[in-house]
Chains A and B, each alone.
Chain A
């Protein structure tokens, strides 16, 4: 009997169990990648007419300033979120770990709440907060008599990227807070008490003891943050659809515009491949860099 279980049931039974999910997965996740590769070699305005153009689309993409501008916006959001999300999450986690703060459970539950909201809801909520006449932000500015700062927050090209990044940071601080908090609570209290006896203050404890001990978790958070921000779309679509102009466009939004607004499916496929390659490369590169850094840190 034991032998039978190591090899498992007959091949046919096994296939019957595994194939349905495999077929679905191949069709929805793997096949589209190859399809995109194929369609990217055509000029194809959506209808029946498709003319093969070879690698012309790829050459166009390399010279497409809007695409690279959108990629730059992705990077901008990523850097902003790395600092904002992980930085704040670390700070709050330290605060939640101190003895003074009350109602810790409440803070944890409440700060995680935005994570479970739909990106569209978050986007619209902040659209309302930013609104020129009825938004909370301008209302508060008027309250403190800074009428000079009142503006239509979502229509100013120069500040738009910071403005659309804030809701993203806001929504996901809770996620990183919970992850970092879990790592912190696994640090034995003896270590921290020893540091206190040696006269370390809160800041020194955070930087010299907690930070190195949760390095592994921080690396995972950074990876999550990078890969998450490379695929930002829903928030941007809900708030600005990439506007004004292409000021707040991200890669996914631009590919969407090209494919469905300009009906250029061939070039849209090319952009999809571009996004795939860029994000995979970036995630792989940052992973390599961080592993290298942490190994170097461990040696020191």
Chain B
């Protein structure tokens, strides 16, 4: 068990301290600690590549997707859980179908559809599949959570004269934040790490995301491991920070998501 735990984090440490080595230092001793810590790899990568763009693009794609996943997930979860309207079952089945569809089977058809409608290579391009493919899980989570919120709260608000939308967003929304956070965390990692749709839908290098950018670096720094590792460290750091600062919540959230999904 201890050995396994070590294999889980050692590669990350290896990359981290190797990124502080010179190429020469690395080649003479691949697993040794750096002889002298130097940040030239970082300054080089940050100034001579487009990693800043990739970083901002990933942040933007993830942020847009998260806002809509939570908003849409909340609205759909609420309506499906609370009301018996016509087509409710159909709507629910449709979204649950989305969890079963193997997304890579849709890689090519989505590319064709997006390029025919001129949706490729825009700032919002990758956010669209990110939203659509994470929506089912969050609807599922939110829907079952809203079932536990007592109906009397809405009724009381209506009697006090609050409109439907007002009740929805100022009364119910804050009440369900725990599950929204869980759904948001699950969606965060999936959007931050998204690769295949960026790969087929983006041609403009200024729009590339971090995982896609990494595949570019692999070609350029084939033989220069410390530099390659530097780019990977830069790409990993935000996810690393988020994971280790709220790992308890993440593990709990992923569990409920995984078991239900």
Instruction: List residues of B whose CB falls within 8 A of some A CB.
Output: 1-2, 4-5, 7-9, 11-12, 14-15, 26-27, 30-31, 68, 72, 75-76, 79, 82-85, 91, 94-95, 97-98, 100-113, 128-129, 131-133, 135, 151, 154-155, 158-159, 164-165, 189, 192-193, 195-196, 199-200, 210-212, 214-215, 218, 225, 228-229, 232, 235-236, 239, 243-244, 247-248, 250-251, 254-255, 258-259, 261
The one of A2, A14, A273 in contact with B155, judged by C-beta atoms closer than 8 angstroms, is: A2
Determine which of A6, A18, A124, A268 lies in contact with B232 in the assembled complex, contact meaning CB atoms within 8 Å: A124
Most buried by A among B8, B108, B215: B108
A-B CB contact pairs (8 Å), 23 listed: A2-B155, A5-B155, A8-B84, A18-B79, A30-B97, A106-B5, A109-B247, A111-B5, A112-B247, A112-B254, A118-B195, A118-B236, A119-B193, A120-B212, A121-B211, A136-B11, A139-B30, A178-B254, A233-B196, A237-B199, A256-B107, A272-B105, A279-B102
**In the bound complex, do residue A117 and residue B193 qualify as a contact, i.e. CB atoms below 8 Å apart?**
yes
Given contacts A109-B247, A125-B12, could you give 11 more A-B pairs where the C-beta distance is less than 8 Å?
A: A2-B155, A7-B85, A28-B110, A111-B5, A111-B8, A118-B195, A119-B195, A121-B214, A136-B11, A255-B104, A276-B101
In A237-266, the 8 Å CB interface with B consists of 237-238, 251-252, 255-256, 259-260, 265
Given A31-B113, A272-B109, decide whether A234 and B195 contact each other with a Cβ distance below 8 A.
yes
**Closest chain B residue to A136, Cβ basis:** B31
Chain A 17-65 residues near chain B, CB threshold 8 A: 17-18, 20-22, 24-25, 27-33, 35-36, 39
CB distance from A286 to the nearest CB of B (A): 13
Partner of A8, one of B83, B100, B101, B165: B83
Most buried by B among A96, A120, A269: A120
Q: A5-B151, A124-B218, A136-B14 are in contact. Are A275 and B193 (CB under 8 A)?
A: no
Asked if A32 and B113 make an inter-chain contact with CB atoms under 8 angstroms apart, the answer reads yes
Interchain nearest-CB distance for B132 vs A (Å):
4
Q: A29-B98, A256-B107, A276-B102 are in contact. Are A128 and B254 (CB under 8 A)?
A: no
A20 to B71, CA, bound (A): 11
A33 partner, pick from B83, B109, B214, B244, beta carbons under 8 A: B109
Pick the residue among A182, A237, A256, A260 that contacts B255 (CB under 8 A). Answer: A182
A113 and B243 form a contact (CB under 8 A): yes
Report A-chain residues with C-beta under 8 Å of the C-beta of B109.
Answer: 32-33, 35-36, 39, 269, 272
The 10 A-B pairs with the shortest beta carbon distances in the complex, nearest first, are: A32-B109, A8-B83, A28-B132, A118-B193, A21-B72, A252-B104, A36-B109, A120-B211, A275-B105, A276-B105
Q: Which of A151-159, A169-177, A188-196 contacts B (4 or more CB under 8 A)?
A: A169-177
In the complex with contacts A6-B84, A29-B101, A116-B189, A272-B107 CB distance below 8 A: yes
Please, how many angstroms separate the alpha-carbon atoms of A114 and B225 in the complex?
21
How many chain-A residues does the 8 Å CB contact rule pick out? Answer: 92
A299 at the interface (CB under 8 A from B): no
**Bound state CA distance, A179 and B261, in angstroms?**
12
Majority SS at the chain A contact face: helix
A229 to chain B minimum Cβ distance, whole angstroms, is 10
Say whether, besides A29-B132, A116-B243, A136 and B8 are in contact (CB < 8 Å).
no
A226, chain B: closest CB distance, angstroms = 11
- Distance to closest chain A CB from B165 (angstroms): 8
Is the pair A95, B1 in contact by a Cβ cutoff of 8 Å? Answer: yes
- Give chain A residues whose Cβ lies under 8 Å from the Cβ of B1: 92, 95-96, 101, 107
Of all chain B residues, which has the CB nearest A258? B108
- Residues of chain B lying within 8 A (CB to CB) of residue A92: 1, 4
Asked whether A224 is an interface residue with its Cβ less than 8 Å from the other chain, the reply is yes
Q: Tell me the smallest distance from the CB of B51 to a CB of chain A, in Å.
A: 14
What chain B residues lie within 8 Å of A238 (beta carbons)? 214-215, 218
Q: Are A269 and B108 closer than 8 Å at their CB atoms? A: yes
Chain A residues with Cβ under 8 A from B2's Cβ? 107
B130's nearest neighbour on chain A, judged by CB, is A28
User: A25–B94 contact, CB under 8 A?
Assistant: yes
A75: interface (CB < 8 Å): no
Instruction: Name the residue of chain B whose CB is nearest to the CB of A39.
Output: B112
